[in-house]
Amino acid sequence: MSLVQSINGALRRVPAWTIYLVGTIYAVWQFWLALNQIGPYLVEPINVLERAYGEAALIMMVSVLVVTPLRKWAGINLMKFRRAIGVTAFFFVLAHFLVFAILDVQTLERVWTEIVKRPYVTVGMTSFLMLIPLAVTSNNLSLRKMGAAAWRRMHKLTYPAAILGGLHYLWLVKGFQLEPIIYLAAILGLVATRYVTLQRKRLMA
């Protein structure tokens, strides 16, 4: 049995809800650390929590984009986890937004000002809004009702949402920092693989 086969075999035994479980435990654990000001949350928990949820969201967005290329080029099948990864990404974006709005900026008026006045917040907010219909329709009922083609077309919103999320991070840091560049590059690269595949299909047709 090849390595890929044994990986796929092992993955088959892991239920998809594991993703939700791990995501929830991580989110609650970070909140608890922040509440008790432990470790990285010692001095200023609000921004650190905001950032932890934002970064978790980016990691999940990158992960969701990895599923298809990984299956296509490495033969590793994570397909059954994809919905759970995507929905978890949405919940981290939601948590990130709630920490920003309620704990950080604190008033509705200021939240609105931030969204319309600061381009990096506008970009992040746009990404969040794009993810809402995707999260809402991430169930079998919606898939059946919409029809597979329409559903798939709509869920291509994942690509711009991920790119805007990466841009949001790059835009908010000070100075030349590597981490946001790595995230954005990974997202752009993974979205590009779709484009390359599409081109190839067209050439073959």
Which residues touch 126 (CB under 8 Å, ≥6 apart)? Answer: 164
Residue with tokens 């397909």: 79
Considering only CA atoms, which of 115, 95, 18 is closest in space to residue 52? 95
Considering only CA atoms, which of 159, 193, 180, 197 is closest in space to residue 64? 159
Nearer to another protein, 73 or 176 (CB): 176
Q: From the list 14, 21, 42, 79, which residue makes contact with another protein (rule: CB under 8 A)? A: 42
The minimum distance between CB 112 and another protein, in angstroms, equals 12
Which residues touch 175 (CB under 8 Å, ≥6 apart)? Answer: none
> Would you say the C-alpha torsion 149, 91, 127, 173 has a positive or negative sign?
negative
Q: From the list 55, 69, 171, 193, which residue makes contact with another protein (rule: CB under 8 A)? A: 171
Nearer to another protein, 20 or 120 (CB): 120
The minimum distance between CB 56 and another protein, in angstroms, equals 17
CB contact at 8 A, 59 and 65: no
Of the ranges 5-13, 22-30, 46-54, 128-136, which one interacts with another protein (CB under 8 A)?
46-54
What residues from 91 to 130 belong to the interface with another protein (CB under 8 A)? 103-106, 110, 113-114, 117-120
44 binds another protein (CB under 8 A): yes
By CB atoms closer than 10 A (0-12, 13-18, 19+), residue 36 is exposed
180 binds another protein (CB under 8 A): no
174 binds another protein (CB under 8 A): yes
Nearer to another protein, 34 or 87 (CB): 34
> Would you say the C-alpha torsion 156, 161, 163, 164 has a positive or negative sign?
positive
182 binds another protein (CB under 8 A): no
Nearer to another protein, 80 or 118 (CB): 118
Nearer to another protein, 178 or 203 (CB): 178
By CB atoms closer than 10 A (0-12, 13-18, 19+), residue 148 is exposed
- Report the length, in residues, of the chain: 205
Binding site for another protein (CB under 8 A): 34-35, 37, 40, 42-49, 103-106, 110, 113-114, 117-120, 171-178
